[in-house]
Amino acid sequence: MRKNKISIWLMGLLLLNLAFIFTGPPIRAAEKTEIHINAMFDLTAPYSGVHKLLAQGYKNMCEWMNDQEIVPGANIVLDILDHGAEVCRAVVGFQMGANSKPRAVISTGGLTSHIEISLKRIAQRLKIPIYGVSSSRPSVVPPAWNFSNQGSHEGQLAACGAWAKANWKPDSSDPWIRKNYENRNPRLGLMGWEAALGRAPDQKETRDYLEKIGVDFVGSEYIPLSPSDTTAPLLRLVNQKNADFLYFSMAPSSVGVILKDAARLGIRGDFQDFSFWASSILQLKHYVGDLANRSMMVTAYKASPNEWEIPYFADLYRKSNEPDFVAIYYSGGASLLGTKVEAIRRAALKVGVDKIDGQAVYNALINMKNYKPPLYHSTISFSETNRIGPSSAVMYQIQEGKLVIVSRDIYIPDLLPGGKDVVK
């Protein structure tokens, strides 16, 4: 009996060893290659209210894309840094990304015009592309390693002028235009911050284009970043120069001051207003209520969670209890991260996931054509000479307190030096 037990035990051991020989040791999941993004935001200074939502959009989209294995064999890592809107801190943060191991392969660039402009030469020298939001001329001309997720400022102003011209008719679908129409060219003025962002739209190329399409540009006025009284510049544009339309190149808080001043002066009904790509008119409505009725904005960011094509993000955003009027900043961050990861994915296909570096991602960006970022209306295309991604947008408007899209696929003219829409 004892011999039978020993025999059975030996037979079992032999079978176990044979199984091990034929099947091999347990297979461990292949370790993923970490791909780092230098993710700099202003989390403590003037831009922090917007940037915290941008950063949340980045983080949620990064987690989702990793879960979906958008870049097979890779784990995308966000190295989040706070630059506090200070150039010196951003420079240090960018160099940290360059010196870390693994090295960052792409950067946010800080997501403010003054910082992205300041980092332009450093990014080119260190060969880490910046995919950010600055479409100010110094960021993208001459073309270097800075890429923009937003239309050029010149193009945005021109697109609003073109919309005004196309709709300036006695039977316009816009009630304000029908009421105020006269048989002449529409008149357009600019009010901007006394900063790179505010001054960027008013260029010779913009004025020449507006003149060509039959829009009378009446001039520009500039105000501080934190205005208290905008009476004088407002009266110059609306009362003295008779602007029908005003284009605001500033944040919603400053636009709110202007609209309140206009109401106090009794001229809110004398003009129609546009806001630029990243200035939420829903946030403007939150600040000024019914004074925001008729306000418009040209953008490609999907402003409302109701529009987001991936329900996961709408659900996540609503669970965060953040208000809808700032959702555009969350979708902006998600779309920015989505395009970065797409460039990384394309680089991986070209050189292998373990060999991705800044040069490979730069090469992927300049060859990107018609990519549709998540939570974004338009497509992104770059080239050896073009650093502005979108060439189209939608036009939102506040109507009776609600956000509606009044025009889709609005063309954003290419008015940077050498651009195809520059008037010869």
Q: What is the pLDDT of residues 57-115, one digit of tens each?
A: 999 999 999 999 999 999 999 999 999 999 999 999 999 999 999 999 999 999 999 99
Q: What percent of the chain has pLDDT over 90?
A: 90
Can you give the residue ranges of every domain in the chain?
A: 33-151+307-366, 153-299+392-411
pLDDT band per the 50, 70, 90 thresholds, residue 2:
very low
Where residue 195 falls (left for φ over 0; alpha for ψ -120 to 50; beta otherwise) is beta
Q: Read off the pTM.
A: 0.91
| Distance from the Cα of residue 218 to its chain's centroid | 29
Please tell me the distance from the alpha carbon of residue 200 to that of residue 268, in angstroms, as a whole number: 25
pLDDT of 30 reads 66
Q: Is 208 exposed, middle or buried (0-12, 13-18, 19+ CB in 10 A)?
A: middle
- CATH architecture of the domain with range 153-299+392-411: 3-Layer(aba) Sandwich (3.40)
* Residue 6 pLDDT > 50: no
pLDDT digits (tens, 9 = 90+) for 344-374: 999 999 999 999 999 999 999 999 999 999 9
Q: Are domains 33-151+307-366 and 153-299+392-411 of this chain identical in fold?
A: yes
Task: Find the helix packing angle between 358-366 and 327-351, rounded to 10°.
Answer: 110
pLDDT of 75 reads 98
Fold of 33-151+307-366: Rossmann fold (3.40.50)
Please tell me the distance from the alpha carbon of residue 276 to that of residue 125, in angstroms, as a whole number: 31
The residue with greater pLDDT, 168 or 11, is 168
**Residues ≥6 apart with Cβ < 8 Å to 249:** 153, 157, 190, 191, 192, 193, 197, 198, 199, 200, 201, 276
Q: How many residues does the chain have?
A: 424
pLDDT band per the 50, 70, 90 thresholds, residue 18:
very low
Q: Residue range 295-305: average pLDDT? A: 98
Please tell me the distance from the alpha carbon of residue 206 to that of residue 216, in angstroms, as a whole number: 11
Q: Is 404 exposed, middle or buried (0-12, 13-18, 19+ CB in 10 A)?
A: exposed
| Distance from the Cα of residue 400 to its chain's centroid | 27
Tokens of residue 246, six digits: 């005003």
Q: Residue range 202-225: average pLDDT? A: 97
pLDDT digits (tens, 9 = 90+) for 187-211: 999 999 998 788 999 999 999 999 9
Tokens of residue 148, six digits: 């923009």
Q: Is 31 helix (H, G, I), strand (E, B) or coil?
A: coil
Cβ–Cβ under 8 Å, residues 141 and 418: no
Closest CA to 77 of 363, 356, 272, 278: 356
Amino acid at 324: D
Q: Residue range 161-184: average pLDDT? A: 98
CB atoms within 10 A of CB 3: 7
Closest CA to 189 of 239, 244, 137, 134: 244
pLDDT of 8 reads 40
* Residue 217 pLDDT > 50: yes
HSE, CB side, 13 Å, CA atoms: give it for residue 55. 21
Q: Residue range 332-338: average pLDDT? A: 98
**Residues ≥6 apart with Cβ < 8 Å to 141:** 387, 416, 417
Q: How high is the mean pLDDT of the chain?
A: 93
pLDDT of 1 reads 45
pLDDT of 196 reads 79
Peptide bond into 305 cis (omega under 30): no
HSE, CB side, 13 Å, CA atoms: give it for residue 3. 0
SS3 readout for 345-397: HHHHHHHCHHHCCHHHHHHHHHCCCCECCCCECCCECCCCCCCECCCEEEEEE
* Residue 3 pLDDT > 60: no
Cβ–Cβ under 8 Å, residues 76 and 63: no
Q: Residue range 220-237: average pLDDT? A: 96
pLDDT of 197 reads 83
* Residue 20 pLDDT > 60: no
Q: Is 164 helix (H, G, I), strand (E, B) or coil?
A: helix
pLDDT band per the 50, 70, 90 thresholds, residue 46:
confident
